[in-house]
Amino acid sequence: MALLLIDQGNSNTKIQVRSLSGEILQATQSIVNFEQNQFLQSNKPPISHIALASVAKAEAKQWLKESLTKQLGSEVLLVEAETETELSMPNTKILNSYRDPSQMGIDRWLAVVAGVTRYPNRGIVIVDSGSAVNIELVNSNAQHLGGYIIPGFTAMIQTLYNGTGQVKVDRQPDSYSVEPGDKTLDCVNNGIAGAIVGLITDSISRLTAQSLAEDIQVVMAGGDSAKLAPLISSPTEIVPDLVLDGLFQWFNVKCI
Ligand SMILES: Nc1ncnc2c1ncn2[C@@H]1O[C@H](COP(=O)(O)OP(=O)(O)OP(=O)(O)O)[C@@H](O)[C@H]1O
Ligand SMILES: CC(C)(CO)[C@@H](O)C(=O)NCCC(=O)O
Ligand SMILES: [K+]
């Protein structure tokens, strides 16, 4: 018996097959063609449960849900953000800041589930830098204090490229700097890196002030985390599969 976990983002869909005890048996970054998908056809042990966390457009989510049921013959459990979620550790539940949790992207909530599971009783700032960058502030009582959503690096570059006559930067550097630039390329790249790093740094300061904690842990996921992490002065851990880890924790508590 195995569990299929899916994180459908706005650009990529990450997938893992795990045993019911959490061991990762298979992992892949994308599924394009279900009918020919070796990944889903070669599964041993057979998949008994499917959990889907999606922030994609309604049609893409529906297509994925239907394709999975057709291909694998199991119902798909569609996971959604909620007011509070019990964790596997005793007496720990995470509390949502959203008045209407149905408006919160499930990837954000699962990142909080995974972050608190990794760092219970600790103030955490979670940064997921993908198509969008979202930042979550969580205090040491597992209360989500709110967060931020800004365009990702690529989206910011594209906005300048499309919206101006002369700011035609079309590539990102291999590493980020926040030094003031002396040519267009550096002004744009360092400016965008500075905007993201500045918001992360401000989030750390806010959480420190609000929760009277000094040892804030930063947890990062998403395509830009390796480039952003060196610019953050607080302890930082990169957890590439943070959302899938959270999805497993969620399933483990609710369904196993
Ligand atoms: N080699 C790379 N290839 C693609 N993107 C990269 C690479 N290196 C860094 N990036 C950055 O990673 C971002 C994509 O990150 P990620 O793969 O986490 O996005 P995503 O899965 O589309 O996010 P979402 O969950 O929002 O859909 C790009 O916007 C880009 O800024
Ligand atoms: C912010 C993103 C795009 C990050 O993937 C996603 O979590 C989302 O679509 N959220 C919905 C809006 C919200 O969380 O308030
Ligand atoms: K993101």
pLDDT on residue 39: 64
| Residue 188 to residue 173: CA distance in whole angstroms | 11
Distance between Cα 1 and ligand 2 center (Å): 32
Does residue 2 have a pLDDT over 80?
A: yes
Query: Mean pLDDT across the chain, nearest whole number?
Result: 93
Complex prediction ipTM: 0.92
128 annotated ligand binder: yes
| 202 in active site | no
pLDDT for the residue 46: 86
Pocket of ligand 2 from Cβ distances under 6 Å: 9-10, 55, 103-105, 107-108, 132, 134, 149
Nearest CA to ligand 1 atom 10: 223
Q: Is 9 annotated as a binding residue?
A: yes
Model confidence at 7, in pLDDT bands (50, 70, 90)? very high
Distance CA 11, CA 57 (A): 11
> Which pLDDT score is estimated for 214?
78
Contact present, 34 and 79 (Cβ < 8 Å)? no
Taking 90 as the threshold, does the pLDDT of residue 32 lie above it?
A: no
**So what's the pLDDT on residue 36?**
57
Model pLDDT, residue 41: 65
Ligand 2, atom 11: nearest CA belongs to which residue? Answer: 105
Exposure b/e, 70-109, CB count within 10 A at least 16 = b: ebbeeebbebebeeebebeeeeeebebebeebeebbbbbb
* Probe residue for ligand 2, chosen from 104, 128, 131 as the CB with the greatest number of ligand atoms within 8 Å: 104
Q: Does residue 75 surpass a pLDDT of 80?
A: yes
Sequence spans of domains, the chain: 2-78, 84-246
Q: Which atom of ligand 1 is nearest to the CA of 56?
A: 27
The pLDDT value recorded for residue 8 is 95
Domains 2-78 and 84-246 share a fold: yes
Neighbours of 29 (CB within 10 A): 8
pLDDT of residue 33: 58
Contacts of 175 (CB under 8 A, 6+ apart): 227, 230
Contact 154, 196 (CB under 8 A): no
**Whether the predicted pLDDT of 23 surpasses 90:** yes
Does residue 37 surpass a pLDDT of 70?
no
Cβ(154) to ligand 1 under 6 A?
yes
Report the distance separating Cα 188 and Cα 167, nearest Å: 8
Does residue 124 register a pLDDT over 90?
yes
- Higher-scoring residue by pLDDT: 212, 191: 191
Q: What is the mean pLDDT of residues 137-154?
A: 97
Fold of 2-78: Nucleotidyltransferase; domain 5 (3.30.420)
pLDDT tier for residue 73 given thresholds of 50, 70 and 90: confident
Which CATH superfamily is 84-246 part of?
ATPase, nucleotide binding domain (3.30.420.40)
| More confident: 30 or 11 | 11
Ligand 2 atom 3 nearest Cα: 132
Give residue 40's pLDDT.
Answer: 66
Mean pLDDT of 77-86: 97
How far is 3 from 46, CA to CA, in rounded Å?
Answer: 9
Residue 38 has pLDDT above 90, yes or no: no
User: Is the pLDDT score of 35 beyond 60?
Assistant: no
Pocket of ligand 2, candidates 96, 102, 107, 135: which has the most ligand atoms within 8 Å of its Cβ, to mutate? 107
Q: Is 12 flagged in the annotation as binding?
A: yes
Comparing 10-19, 198-207, 235-244, the range with the smallest average pLDDT is: 10-19
